[in-house]
Amino acid sequence: MEIKKKIILTGSFGVGKTSLFSRFIYSEFDEKYLTTIGVKVDKKTINIDNDTNLNIMLWDIAGEVAQDKVPLSYFLGTSGIIYVFDLTRPMTYNNIMADIEYLKNILPEATVKIIGNKKDLVTTTHIESVISGLPVECDMTTSAKTGENVEQLFQSMGEALMI
């Protein structure tokens, strides 16, 4: 069986959305910072429970400090939201509650995963401190650079979308 789902990567600029996108889709990482203008879209198929192929249409949305500046048309048909913040920059998670509430308001049926990225740049103690201070639950921490937890992120999102 094959199923198609749209997932968006969103969050502030510079948090590593494009790097997560490239690591997952192409198994690549580029040290250079490239600003996404508008949206970047690609697809990848993953297997869920050995009997279902999930065709993920992944949208990498240009970073905005306020999510309400992203065109609503980008969100149409979205099943999953991966909200990414940078573990090294508090400004990327200071407004996390407002961003998540906004996203849940426009996409009430979508599955949301909150991800702290760039774990390769901080200590475990720092990660624990950041996560414990968040007003929402962080689902996972990743490193697009090393690839740590990137496949697991998309696999867990895929499994959540199949429920």
- pLDDT tens across 43-86, in order? 999 999 888 999 999 999 987 755 667 788 899 999 999 999 99
What is the pLDDT at residue 67? 60
Tokens at 137, concatenated = 């639950």
Tokens at 21, concatenated = 């996108």
Tokens at 159, concatenated = 């499994």
Tokens at 27, concatenated = 């198994």
What is the pLDDT at residue 20? 97
Residue 58 lies in domain:
2-161
Spell out, as residue ranges, where the chain has pLDDT lower than 50. Answer: none
Look at the chain and report how many structural domains it folds into: 1
CATH (domain of 46) = 3.40.50.300
Q: Please count the CA atoms within 13 angstroms of the CA of 7 that sit on its side-chain side.
A: 34
What is the pLDDT at residue 37? 67
The DSSP code for 1 is: -
What is the pLDDT at residue 7? 98
Q: In what order do the strands lie in the sheet with 39-48?
A: 39-48, 52-61, 2-10, 78-86, 111-117, 140-142
pTM of the model: 0.93
Alpha-carbon gap, residue 12 to 10, rounded angstroms: 7
